[in-house]
Amino acid sequence: MENRKLSKGKVALIVIASIILVVGAFLGVVGILNIEFRKDNLEYIETSIRAVEYEEQLTPTYEDGYWTFTTDDEFKILQLTDIHIGGGWLTKTKDYKAINAVANMVTAEKPDLVIITGDLVFPVGFAGCTFNNKEEIILIASLMEKLGVYWTVTLGNHDSEWYSFYDRQEVADIYSDSRWTKCLFEDDGDLYGCGNSVIKIKNSQGLVTQALFTMDSNSYMSDKLTDAIFAVFSSSYDTFHDDQIEWYRQEVTKIHNANLAIDEHCPMFKSLLFFHIPLLETRKAYNQYLEAGCQDTEEVQWLYGVIEESDPYVYSSPIDTDMFETIVELGSTQGMFFGHDHINNIALTYKGINMEYGMSVDYLAYIGIDKEGKQRGCKVITVQPDGSYDSVNNNYYQDKYAIYPREVVSME
């Protein structure tokens, strides 16, 4: 019989088909592994995590378009940030550690409200072989619901990467799902960003003593691939937009006017602001502190904590907005709380406004950070009946946070 050689075209088709089959098989296996490992952690949450035991849990009501807590006593907020759930087969163990870290700190502190200031998840393919940010969100939301605490979130840059399965609005819709009965997240679709909202704390006279602003500091300055990949090097992080700043102004004015309708002599109510990416003023304040030889100045006072990120130290947006000036002008917001820079936990006062990093949970996003421990923890914010507040950073590796399994790490 005559030997026949395959044409170059047919060989190329066979090679391409083979590659597609191999890649498809790999992705299929990875998909199955991701589902199984997420299922393992979900089952762990369902079978091993217990609801926080309160003597009497404070319950919010929904009044005039705001979630509202009513109390004449102290109000306790637990800030968590940068949890970075991976949700893939490569991150099962790190996700398990993060789940226990959250459960330990929430259970021990018994807060009235948990506010997670962004980057709850990390849908970065090389870390966990998954881009499915919805399944990652379901994992952390299921944990919070099982703990039985009231909670809300602000979105970070990693919560909706350009390559993740679900975009920012879809992520907001997931948090707004009615299945999360303890979640107070709300999304005003008329504003830039997702999740700009206010939670009120009122006293028995009906006066707002403290308002908790949760705002979206957005993600990147553009959707360009280069910006998304090289954000750390190009400083292309976004910040608040003009309509958000105007909304903040209107909300402060509205709440103050409502208080005046009850008591015409009442002073401006106090408020706190929670978001993810620090304002440019945080970088300015820290640089001024450095230039003064790490000594307080007329404008900057050190409260506590450290900066351990490398130069430029504070990875803020380069955009100089009117947000900080508006905060100073209105005289309501005493402090702002954010995350983003996982090994920074400093608190500074700048022009009379407290700027405070939370302590990160992250076991995944920074290489080797799962073996380090001095940066991991939470911030406890205690709001007094008059609206003033105190805050403290609590490291995770102390006896009271050992309710669920906890790893041994370096504290150097």
Torsion of CA 119, 286, 274, 261, to 10 degrees: -170
- What does the alpha-carbon distance between residue 54 and residue 110 come to, in Å, rounded to a whole number? 7
Q: In which band, very low, low, confident or very high, does the pLDDT at 33 lie, cut at 50, 70 and 90?
A: very low
Q: What is the pLDDT of residues 199-221, one digit of tens each?
A: 999 999 999 999 999 999 999 88
Q: Tell me what the mean pLDDT of segment 394-403 comes to.
A: 98
What's residue 31's pLDDT? 47
State the average pLDDT for the chain.
90
Do residues 25 and 17 make contact, with C-beta atoms less than 8 angstroms apart?
no
- What does the alpha-carbon distance between residue 202 and residue 211 come to, in Å, rounded to a whole number? 9
What's residue 353's pLDDT? 98
Torsion of CA 378, 383, 387, 390, to 10 degrees: -60
Q: In which band, very low, low, confident or very high, does the pLDDT at 34 lie, cut at 50, 70 and 90?
A: low
- What does the alpha-carbon distance between residue 6 and residue 9 come to, in Å, rounded to a whole number? 8
What's residue 316's pLDDT? 95
What's residue 382's pLDDT? 98
Q: What is the pLDDT of residues 61-90, one digit of tens each?
A: 999 999 999 999 999 999 999 999 999 888
What's residue 26's pLDDT? 39
What's residue 152's pLDDT? 98
Q: How many CB atoms lie within 10 A of CB 43?
A: 10
| Residue 134, C-beta contacts closer than 8 angstroms, at least 6 positions apart | 165, 166, 170, 171, 174
Residue 390, beta-bridge partner list: 382
Q: What is the pLDDT of residues 336-381, one digit of tens each?
A: 999 999 999 999 999 999 999 999 999 999 999 999 999 999 999 9
What's residue 228's pLDDT? 52
Q: In which band, very low, low, confident or very high, does the pLDDT at 1 lie, cut at 50, 70 and 90?
A: very low
Q: Of 184, 187, 153, 145, whose CA–CA distance to 170 is shortest?
A: 187
Q: In which band, very low, low, confident or very high, does the pLDDT at 5 lie, cut at 50, 70 and 90?
A: low
Q: Tell me what the mean pLDDT of segment 6-27 comes to.
A: 48
**24: pLDDT strictly greater than 90:** no
What's residue 129's pLDDT? 72
Q: What is the pLDDT of residues 101-150, one digit of tens each?
A: 999 999 999 999 999 999 999 988 777 778 899 999 999 999 999 999 99
Which residue type occupies 123?
A: P
**11: pLDDT strictly greater than 90:** no
Q: In which band, very low, low, confident or very high, does the pLDDT at 19 lie, cut at 50, 70 and 90?
A: low
Please give the DSSP secondary-structure letter assigned to residue 118: S
Q: Indicate the range of 38-42, 53-57, 74-78 predicted with least confidence.
A: 38-42
What's residue 130's pLDDT? 83
Is 99 strand, coil or helix? helix
Q: In which band, very low, low, confident or very high, does the pLDDT at 12 lie, cut at 50, 70 and 90?
A: low
The DSSP result for 45-95, as a single string, is: HHHH------SS----EEETTEEEEE-SS-EEEEEEB---B--STTSHHHH
Q: Of 214, 212, 199, 259, whose CA–CA distance to 61 is shortest?
A: 199
Asked if the peptide bond before residue 312 counts as cis, ω within 30 degrees of 0, the response is yes
What's residue 7's pLDDT? 60
Q: Of 282, 271, 393, 398, whose CA–CA distance to 340 is shortest?
A: 282
Do residues 237 and 316 make contact, with C-beta atoms less than 8 angstroms apart?
yes
Q: Tell me what the mean pLDDT of segment 231-255 comes to.
A: 87
What's residue 113's pLDDT? 98
pTM, rounded to two decimals = 0.91
Cα within 13 Å of Cα(331), Cβ side: 4
What's residue 232's pLDDT? 46
Q: What is the pLDDT of residues 299-315, one digit of tens each?
A: 999 999 999 999 999 99
Q: How far is CA 71 from the centre of its chain?
A: 26
What's residue 221's pLDDT? 82
What's residue 39's pLDDT? 86
What's residue 100's pLDDT? 98
Share of the chain above pLDDT 90, in %: 81
User: Interior CA angle at 156 toward 151 and 161, to 5°?
Assistant: 125
